[in-house]
Chain A
Amino acid sequence: MALANHPPATADIAALRARAKSMRRHVLTMARGPGQGYVGQGLGISDVLAALYFHEMRWDPADLKAADRDRFLLSTGHYSIALWAALAETGVIPLDELVTYGADDSRLEMSTLDTTPGVEMIGGSLGHGLGQAIGMALGLRLAKSPARIFCELSDGEMQEGSTWEAAMAAGHFSLDNLVALIDCNGIQADGPVVLDMEPVADKWRAFGFATQEIDGNDMAAVVSALKEARATGGKPHAIVLRTRPGQGVPTLVAREKAHFVRVEPDEWDALIAELERTETDHG
């Protein structure tokens, strides 16, 4: 079976930046409908999802259930807006469906269910992703599959104890087919991260992960960190991603620390115009 997106030797960083920008456009298109949503998170993680879906992962949008596909798990189900943007950009979800985000009976739920094509798990009850990623990584290793698991989780989510139950097991089982992508955007439901999780990278190192820490909005750095994780065996990987909520739309970055962004109806055109003229990438 031919799997698309096998990582080329060199990444086309400019093309990946363009993909990320397009995904950000989708995020704003989606949030415009209900006038709210997890826009900050969606804009913040778009570079990482672009690097995964258009460079690093071996998967085929035409064969979403392929046994040997790489899998992306979105543990923070409320980041669904970012996943819908990525799946729309890959063609799995039609662009004209984006306006249904959060609407009754839409497949593009405010928090992910696994009934939507391309969703690998039910996120949203935080602390669920990494443990399921470990099960998948063990199962794929048992099947001698080359497939890899990329599990997104967040800084606030590290406060869930089950995250550390899973982290212990990943190290114990030496799951080098597992990459934990920790989105550290500094916000959680009650505002700025309420329980200090620093030093984040040291924690993952201590649990046996080959750990890198990068600017998660620097496309070249993201691609390079993913390549490094691919090249290193014997241990699970953690990439600590420092991201900016609202990245790509300065007005929203300035309105940061908002877990759940509300935007007035007359603001959307200006925000989208801002996105179009803003360099989304710090690289």
Chain B
Amino acid sequence: MAERAFTQAMGRDEATGGRATVDAPFGHALVEIAKSRDDIVGLTADLGKYTDILPFRDAHPDRFFNVGMAEQNLVAVAAGLARTGLVPFATTYGVFASRRAFDFIAIACAHSNLPVKIVAGLPGLTTGYGGTHQAIEDTGLMRLIPDLVVIDPCDATEIAAATRAAAAHPGPVYMRLLRGKVPVVFEPDGFEFTIGKARLARKGTDVGFVSTGFMTERALDAAAALERRGISAGVLHVPTLKPFDSEAVIQFAGSVEHLVTAENHVVWGGLASLVAETLFDAGMTRRLTRIGLPDRYIECGSVPTLQKRYGLMIDDLVAAAAGERA
């Protein structure tokens, strides 16, 4: 019998590319921001430890509120804090924020364009705890809410930068969170993050990956592997799903014949849908291969096993780009 891997604790250390890592980039970035911003407050719903916000709690205990396991109230309280002039960062898992607190994000926050920042742990398939914990449809749900910014950052550098951008943004933000030891893909020196802007991470002429979240790290590795096979693959990293950088996607699509979208999310409602809608609206026709999660609930298991089983690995991207996968 083959050796079996075992389910691990929540969402830590899922780096695949052997890169350097940074510990708890979100929490440390928030502490830095709060040094010069006394309007920043933090909240969690009994998941402070698992959403990397404890550095903020320790630095500013008077500005931190743990509301217990109550995600509707987490978001409602954040909205109330925002109405007194504060800028709340509220953390929980993506499943709980997007499924349990949807009405509160939509009505209590976004409808009034309040500066509430929802920070959502365990994005997509980063936990082996099954469908209850895997936020496989959260960005799709969140992008349906008017005025809500939706961000799926790639790495530690971008998480820190996106946290700063969220704090500076006058409206509501939903940001997916990678926690624990998060890989460094983008060089931090001179790194700039602008809400709504895509990043051309690699130029290519044969095939183009359009990717978001940690799938961009894998797309870059896949592009390097493809180069060794004589295929020139570009990578357009799209961290902001709303507002969506349609212009960058159209420009990128113009440089290649084949697009491969890559997201840690079901391939309906999120990045793949956005790319397809963008191409359609622009009257462009491109071969489009969608890498992401299927339309089903995923079982429990170890994260590497599940990510392999459901096709999120570098090899899957290489095969798709090389035309070896439908």
Interface of A toward B, CB cutoff 8 Å: 67, 113-114, 120-122, 125, 127-128, 130-140, 142-143, 161-162, 165-166, 168-169, 172-173
Contacts and interface: CB of A to CB of B under 8 A. Distances in A.
A99 B85 CA distance: 34
Contacts of B88: 135
Given A135-B82, A139-B83, A166-B77, 19 more contacts: A114-B112, A122-B107, A122-B111, A128-B107, A131-B77, A131-B79, A132-B77, A132-B83, A135-B76, A135-B84, A135-B88, A137-B80, A138-B81, A140-B84, A162-B104, A166-B76, A168-B68, A169-B68, A173-B65
Interface of B: 41, 62-63, 65, 67-68, 70, 72-73, 75-86, 88, 103-104, 107-108, 111-112
7 contacts: A114-B112, A138-B65, A143-B85, A162-B70, A168-B70, A168-B73, A173-B65
A138 B86 CA distance: 10
Contacts, number: 100
Nearest to B103: A125
Contacts of A113: 111
Contact of A135 (B72, B80, B107): B80
Contacts of B85: 67, 139, 143
A132 B79 contact: yes
Contacts of B78: 135
Nearest to A113: B111
B101 to A, nearest CB: 9
Contacts of A169: 67-68, 70, 73, 77
A140 B65 CA distance: 14
A122 B108 contact: yes
Nearest to A134: B77
Contacts of A120: 83
Nearest to B65: A138
B112 A128 contact: no
B68 to A, nearest CB: 7
A40 B63 CA distance: 42
B118 to A, nearest CB: 14
Contacts of A143: 84-85
Can you list the 9 inter-chain pairs with the closest CB atoms, starting with the nearest?
A: A135-B80, A131-B76, A139-B84, A165-B70, A165-B73, A132-B80, A135-B77, A162-B72, A135-B81
